[in-house]
Amino acid sequence: MTIDATTAATTAARPAAQAGTGPGAEGGLTQPRWTHIALPSGDLDASIAFYTSMTPLVVVAERADADGRNAWLSNPGQWETPFVLVLAAFNHSSGSQQGIMKPFAHIGIELPTRADVDAAADRARAAGCLHWEPRDMPDPIGYICAVTDPDGNVIEFSHNQRVFETVRELWGPKR
């Protein structure tokens, strides 16, 4: 497998892990945690190009074996609470659309501003993959739009959806 310049730069920018430290160290994990979602891809290169141009995700790693290839994508620098999108292209299904998240199922990405949601919609509209125009939805949904990836999966961009804040209010330290 070859690693392109983007992957090499992303890998070089990651902080070095210290053996035996952190919540992932052997014996250190005390609670279950969300780690990833994996989606099949009919064209891994097209999917990587889509996610790295339409979302804030970057390639963390790429791997290949006799069965196919995969790529891990995540937010740059999000090492304390990483969540990874795994895209997998299997040789037996190469070239065919693999989307499975239909019609409502989606991946949600919260953005800092309404303008960021509008910019995501503009990029998707120009690329021909806008699924939902930007719109205000009732609380707690917020301001959203959605795009479709090369396999037909839906990716929602939101602002003010308050997912993190809601969980922190319920389970975080009381002030």
| pLDDT per residue as tens digits for the range 17-66 | 433 444 445 567 777 788 899 898 999 999 999 999 999 999 999 999 99
Q: Which of 70-84, 111-125, 158-172 has the lowest mean pLDDT?
A: 158-172
Q: The CATH number of the domain where 158 resides is what?
A: 3.10.180.10
Residue-range definition of the domain harbouring residue 103:
34-171
Q: Which amino acid is located at 165 in the chain?
A: E
The pairs formed by 45-50 with CB atoms below 8 angstroms and a separation of 24 or more are 46/150, 47/71, 47/87, 47/89, 47/149, 47/150, 47/151, 48/73, 48/87, 50/129, 50/149, 50/150
Higher pLDDT, residue 154 or 21: 154
Picking from 95, 94, 108, 90, the residue whose alpha carbon sits closest to that of residue 37 is 108
- Please name the residue that has the structure tokens 């970057």: 58
- Please name the residue that has the structure tokens 């922190």: 168
Tell whether 45 is covered by a domain: yes
Tell whether 76 is covered by a domain: yes
Angstrom distance (rounded) from CA 43 to CA 57:
18
Tell whether 27 is covered by a domain: no
| pTM to 2 decimal places | 0.72
pLDDT > 90? residue 166: no
Tell whether 19 is covered by a domain: no
Angstrom distance (rounded) from CA 133 to CA 83:
26
Tell whether 20 is covered by a domain: no
Q: Quick one: 10 exposed, middle or buried, by C-beta within 10 A (0-12, 13-18, 19+)? A: buried
Q: How many domains is the chain built from?
A: 1
Q: Identify the pLDDT of residue 105.
A: 81
Strand partners, 146: 132, 156
